[in-house]
Amino acid sequence: MKKVILLFLIILTILTSCASRHVQVDKIDIKKDSVVETKVIVTTIENKINTDSTNINTTSDFSEIVITPIDSSKTIIVDGKSYKNVVLKIKKIKANSLYTNNKKQSDIKHMDSVASSKAVKKEVIDGRTKIIDKKESIGGNIVVYSLLLLFWIVVILFIRKTYKAYIA
């Protein structure tokens, strides 16, 4: 009889759990590293051409009249003027001079510039979630309490049978 009661208590202990509990723990570690590098190259070529052109034209007319007297009895008329007994010497010089200057000057400027920027971004996200799921079953509770009631009935019947002589 003691073996039956011990077996009954073990079964009752196993079945007396009222609910099941499920715990889920999630740990989230997100690490983001990003590097942004920007490089700008600017090339500038500047051409500058200067042209200087000079033309100088010089014209000179030179007239020289030399009158030398020799004999006063003869008359000479030059340009509406009358001269008597002279030697007339006329010298005409015409000079043309041309000066030409063509000057070209070229300036070339070549400029290079480089600009670079670097940005480093680090982002760390730590997260932890804990989800507890507890389910209670009504059917399990009814079974447990029914077995508990049955156990007490069996105990009372056993005591009544064993101690029947003392009770009556």
Contact call for residues 55 and 80 (beta carbons, < 8 A): no
Contact call for residues 116 and 38 (beta carbons, < 8 A): yes
Q: List C-alpha distances in Å: 132 to 61, 69, 71.
A: 122, 148, 153
Q: What is the pLDDT of residue 150?
A: 92
User: Please, which residues bridge with residue 23 across strands?
Assistant: 132
Kindly report the number of other CB atoms within 10 A of residue 44's CB atom: 9
Q: What is the pLDDT of residue 120?
A: 80
Q: Please, which pLDDT band fits residue 16 given cuts at 50, 70 and 90? A: low
Reported as a single tens digit per residue, the pLDDT across 98-145 is 778 888 888 888 787 878 888 888 888 777 777 776 666 666 677 778
The phi, psi pair for 85, rounded to 5°, reads: 55, 65
Reported as a single tens digit per residue, the pLDDT across 21-79 is 666 777 777 788 787 788 888 888 888 888 878 888 888 887 887 777 776 677 777 77
The CA distance from 134 to 108, in Å, is 84
Provide the 8-state DSSP code for 16. T
Contact call for residues 40 and 116 (beta carbons, < 8 A): yes
- Percent composition of the chain: helix, strand, coil (DSSP 3-state, to 5): 25, 65, 10
Mean local confidence (pLDDT), 79-108:
80
Q: What is the pLDDT of residue 115?
A: 80
